[in-house]
Amino acid sequence: MIQRILQAFMPPKKMIDLFTLKMSSTKPIELVAQQVQNACESNHFALLQTYNYHEIVESKGFPMKRKVFIYDICQAKTASLMLSTNPHFAIFMPCTLAIYENDNETIISTMNMELLLKAVSSDKELYNEAKVLFSSFKSLMTSLTI
């Protein structure tokens, strides 16, 4: 029901804005991409996987005009807590960080986890851990913009 209401009253761009957290930088995308590993380490995340998505898609015969990097990032303690009590959250894990070019900016984005955190608010330990994780993730993103 909520899905129908959202679709009826919210334009697609607004819906995307609601579900994503975006930050922008004037730094070249290659420079931002080079800083991800250090930003992960500084903010106590493990970088699990890196995708040069523009290269992957091009290798399949679909060249892209913009560069897009996608990173799978994890904080094992919070992941363990979340999946121990809420295995249905596996589809949202690991945390995904996307870095892409848009006009003359480099965009750093992720899913807005604040919306999902409310779903676990009854478990105070998990909720607090997840809030700290999201705060750390936002710090990681901010460090990539400067």
Is residue 52 one of the residues assigned to a domain?
Answer: yes
Host domain of residue 63: 22-145
Neighbours of 144 (CB within 10 A): 21
Is residue 4 one of the residues assigned to a domain?
Answer: no
Per-residue pLDDT of the chain (146 residues; tens, 9 = 90+): 667 776 777 777 787 888 899 999 999 999 999 999 999 999 999 999 999 999 999 999 999 999 999 999 999 999 999 999 999 989 999 999 999 999 999 999 999 998 888 888 899 998 999 999 999 999 999 999 99
CATH of the domain at 35: 3.30.310.70
Q: How many domains does the chain have?
A: 1
For 105-141, give the secondary structure using H, E and C: EEEEEEECCHHHHHHHCCCHHHHHHHHHHHHHHHHHH
Is residue 45 one of the residues assigned to a domain?
Answer: yes
Crossing angle of helices 76-85/124-145, nearest 10°? 140
Model pTM score: 0.90
Is residue 91 one of the residues assigned to a domain?
Answer: yes
Is residue 8 one of the residues assigned to a domain?
Answer: no
Is residue 13 one of the residues assigned to a domain?
Answer: no
Length of the chain: 146
d(CA 71, CA 37): 10
Is residue 104 one of the residues assigned to a domain?
Answer: yes
Q: What is the pLDDT of residue 6?
A: 66
Is residue 122 one of the residues assigned to a domain?
Answer: yes
Cα-Cα-Cα-Cα dihedral of 139, 33, 50, 132, to 10°?
Answer: 0
Q: What is the pLDDT of residue 110?
A: 97
